Amino acid sequence: MKPRMATAKNTMTSTRNETVLAGLGLSKHYGDLQVLSQVEFSVGVSEAIGVVGPNGAGKTTLLSVLAGSVKPSAGTVILNGVDVTCLRPEMRCRRGIGRAFQIPRPFGGMTVLENVIVGAAYGARLPHKDLYKQCVAVLELCGLIDLANRRAESLGLLHRKRLELARSLATDPRVLLLDEIGGGLTDAEAAELVSTVKQVRHLGVSIVWIEHVVHILLQVVDRLICMDAGRVIAEGEPGEVLRDAAVADAYLGKSRT
């Protein structure tokens, strides 16, 4: 997927320790329901972070606040050192936040290639002469090149998930937010997905990946964050986080009534 790396967002000089995306004191409530409470978050250049936690923990809301589709009640989102809290999602996309949704949302009535072209044209804002090359590279990376001319709505689950990833990659992200794109896949399909995400990461894209299938995450991520009830309850080396008593408690509810 060479063309993508030649674009402006990714030719910025950055080191591995440099933060690409950060959330400072992020809170979100809906009426009395506190969904995020003072969440501190950051991901570095080329870093891959896994996000786990029980249903309703606030994981998707955190991605939505980072991507701009949900406005936080308090806190700040910083992208490449710039406060983007007030920017709309499409503007954040153009500055380097790509997102793949849990439930794939392909544009119906369009082919696979056309779906990816939309991402490259409107997200990455590539000039016409570079569009085709970029989209072919993305489709090859995601194992969709043979389906380029198929209608998106005719795809099965695996290929819809791949298309979701492809569309977000076509926007030329510096950081990719993935929400449960591994759920429902066979072991062989999941292995292919892991291989694709690893390749993306090696191209210099940072990854933030929510996934319930933890063994998939562990093959890719450097760091794991566990959320529960809108808070980060554990963070660090994946093995340590999984052994953390608070994490077991969040999943098994040992001390709850």
Per CB under 6 A, residues contacting ligand ADP are 30, 33, 35, 53, 55-61
Instruction: Write the interaction track for Mg ion spanning residues 40-59; mark x where CB under 5 A is met and - where it is not.
Output: -------------------x
Please, what's the b/e burial string for 207-235 (b: 16 or more CB within 10 A of its CB; e: otherwise)? bbbbbebeebbeebbbbbbbbbebbbbbb
DSSP helix/strand/coil, 46: coil
Pair 233, 226: CB distance under 8 Å: yes
Q: Which is nearer to ligand ADP, 123 or 230 (CB)?
A: 230
Q: Of all residues in this chain, which one has the CB nearest to Mg ion in the complex?
A: 60
Q: Which is nearer to ligand ADP, 53 or 173 (CB)?
A: 53
Q: Do you know the residue count of the chain? A: 257
- Binding partner of residue 173 among ligand ADP, Mg ion, none, CB under 5 to 8 Å per kind? none
Q: Which is nearer to ligand ADP, 52 or 138 (CB)?
A: 52
Please, what's the b/e burial string for 23-54 (b: 16 or more CB within 10 A of its CB; e: otherwise)? bbebbbeeeeebbbbebebebbbbbbbbbbbb
Q: Which is nearer to ligand ADP, 30 or 240 (CB)?
A: 30
- Least distance (Å) from ligand ADP to the CB of residue 153? 25
Measured distance CA(212)–CA(226) in Å, rounded: 11
Contacts of 30 (CB under 8 A, 6+ apart): none
- Least distance (Å) from Mg ion to the CB of residue 38? 20
Q: Which is nearer to ligand ADP, 22 or 51 (CB)?
A: 51
Pair 41, 26: CB distance under 8 Å: yes
- Least distance (Å) from Mg ion to the CB of residue 23? 16
Give me the residue label for tokens 């950060």. 22
- Least distance (Å) from ligand ADP to the CB of residue 210? 7
First to last CA, the chain: 51
- Least distance (Å) from Mg ion to the CB of residue 44? 24
Q: Which amino acid is at 198?
A: K
Q: Which is nearer to ligand ADP, 52 or 190 (CB)?
A: 52
Contact pick of 60, 80, 85, 168 for Mg ion (by CB under 5 A) = 60
- Least distance (Å) from Mg ion to the CB of residue 60? 3
Q: What residues line the site for Mg ion (CB under 5 A)?
A: 59-60
